[in-house]
């Protein structure tokens, strides 16, 4: 396996724990930090997908020696949710998915906690289930949330009363009849995407403890420390000042650890543990289906295309399988709505994106936030139409892709973008149009391409803050609320601070997150930290730098405009005098008259976008739907065995417009990691659910890509068209890197053997069956 460039940065070393007896190093860590009073939490979970809870008997569990806490939903009925407060910490009157917590236990050992859960008796009255989102959206489906309209929710989430539709985002643009009339060819088809798991190496883990003053501390492997504090505090109706969240390095997240999943249960058990800390760690099986999963999707695409390849009209319907609770999934549905055409100029659009309650695991954020799913459909559809019109799929994309100033699907003028460059460069790197010879007889090769776009999916006003404090020796501490989970947050923060201050990066230290001391950060999601947090850091650096320069200017009697900070020294362009930052950034400087100027230097910065506008509920139109889009393309070459259908990805090229690559090595590493994760979901991954029951919650039956499955060759191409509101022009790349991988591979498979794959994953069995069907035909 060869790479154009591979650099490992920002690596963290996750704790790997289970609910088995903790021994050795793990036990030592527990004893050192929390002492022998540490209690072990365990959750009693539903075994049925949908039922009323008729009775919960916890008496046997409470009577078991060594069991210290037993709690149920009757004790804490509060609801939580980031965009829609629809989920209880423990089920109260009914369960809605297999694995939903119905009770929590904390005991002296993991084994006792497990035994106590087994002793809790729950009597259910089975209810009809919903296991398909298209059916769930219909009038005949049983209602899973009769109180939907009573839930608190964001104003941009459009619930439908008397249905299972928790959000319906609509786009109505242009004249559909005119668009269909202009088309030389109209094609419609249905595509499907299954649920998948994030499978971070570190499963969800938390420890909570209440001190003598009633202050709760939660140590959590979280992407959202401040959001967790907010959501848990509101669900328990306590002051935010009473809850502290500490997040160290996180062993992978990919969206799984955004928001709240099991952390609220840990806090509730700690509230009843009389000051003893409670530890709750998800087993690998629990991680697969009881925390967030990527939502399933049924996508119906209808497209009209002129003879020259221009897209004249598009009608898309997305049925999102949001699962039992859609508090996060409703915003994925929204993002799919305002991105519903893909990165193309389409004058006539009719789109519906519906988030539907089902009795499946909870759909939440995952890398790409709905974009890998809708691009799976859109990008295959474009390829098929190009072939039907005997057009080159690359040229069709270049013709239709959004250019600066063109209207997006919501009517927003597209900002400057390098999308055309990305498509052209990806195709060129794959020698598009040139045949490639198979490695051996019985093999066939094909090339495919897919384009993408993705905006940071978030509310209109998510904020970031940063502070910078200097030490006596001229080094500085940068405080942020962003989380490092291996993607390099701390590295980027240090780079931006060093550049903004004019000091060596070696003199910068960045702290991890503690909500009592760290400045606010909305969440570490949406590929937004380099952009949003980065702006806050630069503003903090500018404030600190201004304090230093004004102090030196006062002492030297110079114009501040003639001063700068270079390599940790204040220098004068007028007199060529210089002074190191050491000491003066804390103690100040003595003036010629013997008095002093300055004092401890502390810079503060904040950033919040103020320019995003609401969208019309019926048309989806508005001046500015999002802050910006990251755009790009991937091209893939595959080789397929005619006898077995086995797929080998020979080369995968990624080209993205990142605005400005603050750290080019890290950008390329994100491209490579995203491409491999995209390949994994494309070829291997699917949570198998039968009537709501998960059938493969283990690495034995749920495969993910390893180095053996990675492409033989990978190439990453950076395109830089600056973003007007980004730090030095930068925008995010972490999530976009896996968006177009699956359709690019699917298009390559189709080019190689003519087999069309409508549903992920693209397995060798499906390819083999498709080839055999062709032979029979």
Give 351-371 pLDDT, tens digit per residue.
999 999 999 999 999 999 999
Distance between CA atoms of residues 766 and 754, nearest Å: 12
Q: What is the dihedral of CA 106, 110, 116, 120, to 10 degrees?
A: 80
The label of the residue with tokens 């947050």 reads: 489
pLDDT at position 472 over 50: yes
Indicate whether 11 pLDDT > 70: no
Torsion of CA 398, 402, 407, 413, to 10 degrees: -150
What is the SS3 assignment for 517?
Answer: coil
Percent of the chain with pLDDT over 90: 95
User: Catalytic: 735?
Assistant: yes
pLDDT at 607: 98
For residues 325-347, average pLDDT: 97
Contact present, 126 and 51 (Cβ < 8 Å): yes
Residue range 616-635, pLDDT digits in tens: 999 999 999 999 999 999 99
Q: Distances from the Cα of 325 to the Cαs of 81, 89, 102, 157, 356, in angstroms? A: 9, 11, 15, 14, 9
Question: Which spans in 260-370 are helix H?
Answer: 263-271, 284-289, 329-338
Confidence of residue 7 (pLDDT cuts 50, 70, 90): very low
pLDDT of amino acid 21: 40
Confidence of residue 30 (pLDDT cuts 50, 70, 90): low
Rounded to the nearest 10°, the torsion over CA 411, 412, 415, 417 is -50
Q: What is the DSSP letter of 451?
A: E
Asked if pLDDT for residue 260 goes beyond 80, the answer is: yes
Give the separation between CA 228 and CA 234, rounded to whole angstroms. 10
Q: What angle do CA 759, 762, 764 make, to 5 degrees?
A: 130
Side-chain half-sphere exposure of 126, counting CA atoms within 13 A: 9
What dihedral do alpha carbons 458, 463, 469, 474 form, nearest 10°?
A: 50
Angle CA 45–49–53, to nearest 5? 65
Q: What is the C-alpha separation between 492 and 188, in angstroms, rounded?
A: 44
In order, the DSSP letters of 682-712 are: HHT----EETTEES--STTTS----TTTS-S
Return the pLDDT at 35.
87
Residue 694: closest CA among 131, 364, 288, 122 = 288
Rounded-to-integer distance, Cα 375 and Cα 450, Å: 8
Task: Kindly give the pairing relationship between strand 689-690 and strand 693-694.
Answer: antiparallel
Residue pair 312/349 in contact by the 8 Å Cβ criterion: no
In sequence order, what are the beta bridge partners of 311?
305
Give the chain's mean pLDDT. 95
761: cis peptide before it, omega within 30°?
A: yes
In this prediction, residue 613 carries a pLDDT of 97
pLDDT at 740 over 60: yes
Say what the pLDDT of residue 677 is: 98
Please give the Cα distance from 771 to 736 (Å, whole number). 32
* Contacts for 612 with CB less than 8 Å, ≥ 6 apart: 460, 461, 624, 625, 626, 627
What pLDDT, on a 0 to 100 scale, did the predictor assign at position 584?
Answer: 98
The pLDDT tens digits of the residues spanning 49-105 come to: 999 999 999 999 999 999 999 999 999 999 999 999 999 999 999 999 999 999 999
> Which of 635, 604, 614 has its CA nearest to residue 713?
635
Q: Where are the alpha helices (DSSP H) in 87-223?
A: 110-119, 133-136, 176-182
* pLDDT at residue 244, rounded to an integer: 98
d(CA 487, CA 3): 19
Q: What is the pTM of this model?
A: 0.95
- Residue pair 445/650 in contact (Cβ under 8 Å)? The answer is yes
Contact in structure between 759 and 190 (CB atoms under 8 Å) = no
Q: Which residues, in sequence order, are bridge partners of residue 41?
A: 106
pLDDT at 26: 41
Write down the pLDDT at residue 32. Answer: 67
Q: Are 748 and 383 in contact (CB under 8 A)?
A: no
The pLDDT value recorded for residue 9 is 28
* Encoded tokens for 605: 């910065």
3-state secondary structure of 542: helix
Buried b (16+ CB within 10 A) or exposed e, 363-383: bbbbbbbbbbbbbbbbbbbbb
Among 17-26, 238-247, 412-421, 760-769, the range scoring the smallest mean pLDDT is 17-26
pLDDT tens for 285-321 read 999 999 999 999 999 999 999 999 999 999 999 999 9
Q: Which band of pLDDT confidence, cut at 50, 70 and 90, is reported for residue 33? A: confident
Max Cα-Cα span within the chain: 98
**Catalytic, out of 521, 735, 756, 765:** 735
Least confident piece of the model among 3-12, 168-177, 342-351, 477-486: 3-12
Interhelix angle 664-683/741-753, rounded to 10 degrees, is 60
- Contact present, 596 and 588 (Cβ < 8 Å): yes
Position 776 scores a pLDDT of 82
């Amino acid at each position: 396996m060869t790479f154009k460039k591979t650099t490992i940065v920002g690596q963290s070393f996750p704790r790997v724990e289970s609910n088995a007896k903790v021994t050795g190093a793990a036990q030592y860590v527990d004893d050192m930090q929390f002492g022998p009073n540490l209690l072990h939490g365990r959750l009693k979970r539903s075994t049925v997908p949908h039922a009323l809870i008729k009775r919960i008997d916890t008496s046997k569990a409470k009577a078991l020696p060594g069991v210290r806490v037993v709690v149920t939903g009757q004790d804490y009925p509060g609801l939580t949710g980031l965009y829609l407060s629809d989920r209880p910490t423990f089920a109260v009157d009914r369960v809605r998915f297999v694995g939903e917590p119905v009770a929590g236990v904390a005991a002296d050992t993991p084994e006792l906690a497990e035994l106590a859960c087994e002793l809790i008796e729950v009597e259910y009255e089975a209810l009809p289930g919903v296991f398909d989102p298209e059916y769930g959206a219909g009038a005949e489906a049983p209602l899973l949330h009769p109180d939907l309209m009573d839930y608190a929710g964001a104003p941009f989430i459009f619930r439908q009363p008397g249905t299972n539709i928790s959000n319906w985002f609509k786009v109505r643009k242009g004249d559909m009849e005119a668009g269909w009339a202009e088309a030389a060819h109209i094609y419609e088809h249905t595509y499907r995407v299954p649920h998948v798991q994030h499978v971070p190496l570190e499963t969800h883990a938390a420890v909570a403890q209440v001190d003598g003053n009633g202050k709760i501390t939660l140590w959590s492997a979280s992407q959202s420390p401040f959001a967790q504090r907010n959501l848990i505090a509101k669900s328990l109706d306590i002051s935010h000042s009473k809850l502290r969240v500490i997040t160290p390095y996180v062993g992978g997240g990919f969206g799984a650890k955004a928001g709240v999943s099991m952390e609220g249960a840990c806090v509730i058990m700690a509230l009843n543990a009389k000051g003893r800390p409670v530890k709750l760690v998800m087993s690998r099986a629990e991680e697969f289906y009881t925390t967030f999963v990527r939502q399933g999707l049924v996508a119906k695409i209808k497209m009209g295309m002129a003879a020259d390849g221009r897209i004249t009209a598009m009608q898309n319907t997305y049925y999102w399988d949001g699962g039992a609770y859609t508090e996060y999934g409703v915003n994925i549905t929204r993002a799919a709505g305002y991105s519903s055409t893909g990165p193309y100029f389409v004058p006539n659009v009719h789109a519906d994106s519906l988030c539907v309650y089902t009795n499946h695991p909870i759909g939440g954020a995952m890398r790409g936030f709905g974009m890998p799913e809708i691009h799976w459909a859109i990008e295959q559809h474009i390829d098929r139409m190009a072939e039907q019109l005997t057009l080159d799929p690359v040229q069709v994309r270049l013709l239709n892709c959004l250019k600066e100033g063109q209207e997006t699907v919501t009517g927003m003028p597209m900002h400057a973008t390098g999308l055309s460059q990305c498509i052209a460069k990806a195709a060129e790197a794959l020698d598009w149009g040139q045949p490639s010879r198979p490695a051996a007889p019985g093999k066939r090769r094909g090339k495919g391409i897919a384009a993408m776009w993705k905006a940071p999916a978030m509310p209109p006003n998510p904020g970031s803050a940063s502070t910078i404090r200097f030490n006596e020796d001229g080094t500085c501490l940068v405080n942020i609320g962003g989380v490092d989970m291996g993607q390099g947050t701390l590295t980027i923060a240090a780079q931006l601070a060093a550049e903004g201050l004019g000091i060596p990066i070696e003199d910068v230290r960045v702290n991890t997150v503690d909500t009592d001391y760290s400045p606010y950060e909305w969440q570490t999601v949406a590929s937004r930290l380099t952009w949003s947090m980065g702006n806050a850091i630069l503003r903090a650096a500018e404030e600190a730098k201004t304090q230093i320069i004004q102090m030196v200017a006062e002492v030297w009697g110079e114009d501040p405009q003639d001063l700068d900070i270079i390599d940790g020294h204040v220098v004068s362009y007028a007199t060529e005098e210089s002074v190191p930052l050491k000491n003066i950034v804390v103690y100040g400087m003595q003036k010629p008259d013997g008095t002093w100027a300055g004092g401890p230097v502390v810079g503060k910065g904040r950033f919040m976008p103020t320019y995003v506008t609401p969208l019309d509920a019926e048309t989806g139109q508005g001046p500015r739907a999002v802050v910006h889009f990251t755009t790009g393309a991937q091209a893939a070459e595959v080789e397929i065995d005619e006898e077995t259908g086995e797929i080998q990805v020979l080369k995968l090229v990624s080209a993205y417009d990142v605005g400005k690559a603050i750290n080019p090595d890290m950008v390329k590493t994100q491209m490579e990691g995203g491409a491999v994760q995209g390949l994994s979901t494309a070829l291997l991954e699917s949570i198998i659910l039968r009537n709501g029951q998960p059938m493969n919650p283990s690495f034995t039956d749920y495969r993910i890509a390893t180095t053996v499955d990675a492409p033989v060759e990978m190439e990453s191409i950076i395109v830089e068209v600056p973003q007007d509101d980004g730090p030095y022009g930068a925008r995010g790349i972490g999530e976009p890197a896996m968006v177009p991988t699956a359709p690019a591979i699917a298009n390559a498979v189709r080019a190689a053997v003519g087999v069309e794959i409508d549903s992920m994953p693209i397995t060798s069995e499906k390819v083999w069956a498709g080839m055999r069907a062709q032979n029979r035909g």
